[in-house]
Structure 1
């Protein structure tokens, strides 16, 4: 639904949108400290090393190209380039590399689009550049992503969307990128939750990954979720009622002492102090959470902490 400044200040989605301002303010300060491409380095669960799947699936020359090209755009994980290469042409192994729309080469560029990002000629590239040449194509893809939000991890979702204007494509690229990142598959599932309610809530939230954020959204048919709408719906699926907004959810649930271990199913809250909660997510274990981040993004599973993120504390809903 559309929002106005007055509604942002007082409405059900207020905390989730306030969280955007805090994150954007913190992002510049933290990018240089995060591995694998800023905030999205944690989203992709990688430490910069290729996973076993990446080593088995990506031809050595292409793997080298992805890893060499990505640093030209600080904040861009090489795994995203590799995921695009996989989806577009199976790393140049597809029998045909000419699409019905006229996109060509291993990274499937329209010629006019490629020409916008072809120069300078990269190391080992053809001269003049061509979208059929792997170094030219991979470096051009890096520049396209960088120009549309990947630099300094500003908005990787927008960058991938610029490559192919579809939310399903963004989700598919990010999922493939995580498969290529070392340790990406070591996330505990709902079976590790401490009780049935927590397991059900996590299962529900995971089923909503990829659904677009909607201010004030609670998941009614044809609508998305905001941060607290998602956590409320997740626990409602388990038969446990939570209040509607993040601040009230924080006030109504049992606080976990600082330093105490978190358990899957815990609620994670963000804000400057306990009376100004701006965001909530659902902890899934291994320092990760499922949350509905902000307008323009979709429900996702990501790291729950990074320096300067205004993480306040956690609570534990109980029947």
Structure 2
């Protein structure tokens, strides 16, 4: 079975996880050098491999290099789609839209699609499988470059455009990279704050306590304000519109470089309804737009 490319995908996930989710992530050039190529190509390649397990399916043509070049182009497009989908899904979860949750989501989705690709590929005769062996990697690269130089140049243009698109996501997620963590914690039976037991069914006027955490990079600290609200939202096409909102208080935060702070916050919502959004927004001092946002979905009923 031709699996060298899929093994390379798994190895790249392990490498990215080892760098991004460790103290090595503080070394920005290393994090970018490892993370950017991964985000640009690997999730999309795993997706393309799952959809097209047979050689030659990604492009019609007599030259194998054309098919591999088409796979590369589709991989870049697929990666942009994967980043957008993972980011959109996370925006409706308790983790919210941030660099770390997005990378975790990309790693897991890549492993899942790689498993699907492996399963679909192994059901085909080896002669028509889309993969390659470790010894043929250099040959495949030579075929791609030698057979269609114009196509390679156009693919590089797509890479640059995709890097810009993903850079927008990274900028939205990190916003100068000062805050690396902004999260909500639930409360267990003993009153400890944990990443579970999030409140979901609330009673109007009755207090409920959550934990709100803020963490910074090693380069700089953060000073600002956390603002809480419970919101009724509607989905208008691809836009989430706030139709009703109740402020639930705010508090100042000041975090030193490389440190984190965790604060308990008690709210008493009176806005009634199902699938309301309990939202916390983090503002930099003097800023009118939020630096980061996290949310959990709750229902509020009358007592």
Higher relative contact order (CA 8 A, sep 6+): 1
TM-score in terms of structure 1 length: 0.28
The answer to which structure has the higher strand fraction is 2
TM-score in terms of structure 2 length: 0.29
Larger Rg: 2
